[in-house]
């Protein structure tokens, strides 16, 4: 099993890298790494290094770097703008968004959002994103933004090359009918279990969004996010 560990920004510049306490504890107590074992280090900003574990203690694991390289920034930016569902479903969305190539994750509150997450949960959300990045060898850590209201998103939609909003209302078109070639910065808006309101969809369309459907079936919000990201990954990445 290849072990991937996140280091602090600038940490890969050192010859001997001491992993942060929480990561060191995970390596020592959960993965039980031993001196001489090879691990991969990354900083979440494209920096990657091969290293060999030198010392292991309860609070600090140190590894000596043998090789460094830089992974280019993703050439296509895909932002997931998601109405926050119930905690277990949201955690699934976070995990799968990382796996499917989302570069930014923007949690939002909409008119029909039932879940009212505590902003203090942000630390746990970031941990889920980190764990997914480690498991999938994502070298540029997705930007998990603070919770915001739907109305705050609208003025930002003009900065994208393409904005898609999942919709159950008339006028939504299949993904395959939306031209995507050449798009470099794309946003996908996914509503709550009760969908966006008609007024929210209209406001997003006025701001430049294209309403899209997910076929004949009504998908759960977490399934819709995974479906939409998978289509974008297939078309763009």
Residue spans per domain, the chain: 4-70, 77-236
The band of 119, judged by pLDDT with boundaries at 50, 70 and 90, is low
The band of 1, judged by pLDDT with boundaries at 50, 70 and 90, is low
Torsion of CA 101, 104, 107, 111, to 10 degrees: -90
The pTM is what?
0.94
Residue (of 130, 156, 138) closest to 209 by Cα position: 156
User: What is the mean pLDDT of the segment spanning 61-88?
Assistant: 96
Strand spans (E) along 134-209: 143-144, 148-149, 162-166, 173-174, 185-190
Structure token pair of residue 146 = 């603070």
Distance CA 220, CA 212 (A): 15
Does pLDDT of 116 surpass 80?
no
How far out from the chain centre does Cα 208 lie? 23
Q: How many CA atoms lie within 13 A of 4 on its CB side?
A: 16
108 forms beta bridges with 83, 148
Its CATH class, for the domain covering 4-70, is mainly beta
- Cβ atoms < 10 Å from Cβ of 62: 17
How far out from the chain centre does Cα 189 lie? 14
Q: Is domain 77-236 given the CATH code 3.40.1280.10 in the classification?
A: yes
Does pLDDT of 31 surpass 80?
yes
């Amino acid at each position: 099993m290849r072990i991937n560990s996140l280091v602090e920004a600038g940490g890969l510049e050192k010859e001997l890298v001491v992993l942060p306490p929480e990561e060191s504890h995970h390596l020592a107590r959960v993965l039980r790494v031993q001196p001489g074992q090879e691990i991969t280090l990354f900083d979440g900003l494209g920096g990657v290094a091969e290293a060999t574990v030198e010392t292991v203690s309860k609070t600090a694991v140190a590894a000596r770097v043998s090789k460094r390289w830089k992974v280019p920034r993703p050439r296509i930016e895909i932002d997931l703008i998601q109405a926050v569902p119930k905690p277990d479903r949201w955690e699934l969305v976070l995990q799968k968004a990382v796996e499917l190539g989302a570069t930014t994750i923007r949690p939002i509150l909409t008119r029909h959002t039932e879940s009212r997450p505590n902003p203090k949960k942000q630390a746990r959300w970031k941990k889920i994103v980190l764990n997914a990045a480690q498991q999938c060898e994502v070298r540029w850590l997705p930007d998990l933004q603070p919770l915001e209201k739907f109305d705050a998103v609208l003025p930002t939609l003009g900065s994208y090359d393409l904005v898609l909003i999942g919709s159950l209302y008339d006028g939504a078109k299949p993904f395959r009918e939306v031209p995507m070639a050449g798009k470099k910065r794309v946003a996908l808006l996914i509503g709550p279990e009760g969908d966006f309101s008609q007024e929210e969809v209209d406001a997003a369309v006025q701001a430049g969004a294209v309403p899209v459907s997910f076929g004949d079936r009504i998908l759960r919000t977490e399934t819709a996010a995974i479906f939409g990201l998978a289509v974008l990954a297939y078309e763009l990445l």
